[in-house]
Structure 1
Amino acid sequence: MNNAVTRGRPVLTRHAEAETCADPSSVMTLLADSDSTSHDFTSYRSTFTEGAVGAPAHFHTKATELFFVISGSLQVLVDEEVTILETGDFLAVPPHTPHAFAAAPGCDADVLFVFTPGMDRFDYLRLLGRVMRGEADAKEIAASAERFDNHYVDSPVWQAALEASA
């Protein structure tokens, strides 16, 4: 009996060849989508300008979302707690856990995101960019919740944090 584990192939994304999605307050660099990783993970990098809101409160039912702050500071909501991640900080948010993120007040942020297991998220990120640029209707995001495992929730705690930092 062969007990070998089926593995995906190595994934290399050169910076100069990576697709980027830009909106007025951030740039997302698409690194590896699930189809290139045997659905093991999806990864992208986002740079947020000062005052940029990354994502409203939401949760995923299937994926753990990993955050690594390359530089700057990122304000995050996890459940009902808001905290600041600094350069070098790492955060893992398990499925069904409400979370949100934005550049911390007065800061910009450069963050590596990884989702595991992977799912096709690049189309979602492209859609976000089109909505932010006014090229698509925000209703398309709500309609895509199941497809992209991105479920938005109300969070008075996150709303209050955003208002306090405005």
Structure 2
Amino acid sequence: MNTKQSSPRDRNGREAALVVQGRAAETVPLPGGGLFQLLEDSRGTGGLLGANRLALPAGADGTRPHQHRLSTELFYVLTGTMEFLLDGTLTPVAAGGLVVVPPGTVHAFGAAPDAPAEFFAVLTPGIERFAYFRQLGRIARGEADWSTMDGLHDTYDVHFDGAAGWR
């Protein structure tokens, strides 16, 4: 999969800065008041990175165990405490904490059971994954079945490696 794209250019021909205002970002609602805020789908950075924010209600899982074969994923916990499963070890990370997951590391995450939590995530190099997050939202809301993700793992570089009930 080739993720490198042509970067947008400014009026002088240099790579342009990217600004995404929060109010302009698409929001994908999740059950219990959770949400994905879709900030950058790698197009505006020429494939350098993708970025989103995830807010989860207390105790909610964000994803089941998976790995990325092509990308590194960075998580910065904004509020609450997130629980990260990292190669089989459950690690709580409070607000202000950073987690960097290299390619091939099996990981999962969710909000700790005592309070809602949210994080900012960056995937680099970027892969256009907003369609993936939209579909995850439909699945979480009961509007689509998990089987609709079959065959899309290589497209989104998300390779599941474990049961949905990982905690």
The answer to whether the Cα contact below 8 Å between 1:67 and 1:92 also exists between their aligned partners in 2 is yes
Identify the residue that residue 124 of structure 1 maps to in structure 2.
Answer: 132
Structure 1 residue 143: deviation in Å?
2.1
Matching residue within 63, 66, 78 for 1:58 = 66
Matching residue within 134, 137, 143 for 1:135 = 143
Matching residue within 31, 42, 51 for 1:34 = 42
Matching residue within 21, 25, 42 for 1:14 = 21
- Matched residue count: 154
Identify the residue that residue 85 of structure 2 maps to in structure 1.
Answer: 77
Alignment TM-score, normalising by the size of structure 1: 0.87
User: What amino acid does structure 1 have at the position aligned with 2:80?
Assistant: G
Matching residue within 18, 30, 39 for 1:23 = 30
Structure 1 residue 23: deviation in Å?
1.4
Secondary structure of the equivalent of 2:80?
A: strand
The answer to whether the Cα contact below 8 Å between 1:59 and 1:151 also exists between their aligned partners in 2 is yes
User: What amino acid does structure 2 have at the position aligned with 1:53?
Assistant: D
Secondary structure of the equivalent of 1:120?
A: coil
Deviations 1:41-88 (A, max 9, x none): 000001111121101000000000100001110000110111100010
List runs of 5+ in structure 1 lacking aligned partners. 1-5
Identify the residue that residue 3 of structure 2 maps to in structure 1.
Answer: none
User: What amino acid does structure 2 have at the position aligned with 1:139?
Assistant: S
User: What amino acid does structure 2 have at the position aligned with 1:146?
Assistant: D
List runs of 5+ in structure 2 lacking aligned partners. 1-6, 8-13
Give the whole-Å Cα distance in 2 for the aligned partners of 1:73 and 1:67: 12
Indicate the larger mover: 109-118 or 140-149.
Answer: 140-149
Alignment TM-score, normalising by the size of structure 2: 0.87
The answer to whether the Cα contact below 8 Å between 2:58 and 2:112 also exists between their aligned partners in 1 is yes
Matches within 5 A, 1:69-108: 69-108=77-116
The answer to whether the Cα contact below 8 Å between 2:82 and 2:111 also exists between their aligned partners in 1 is yes
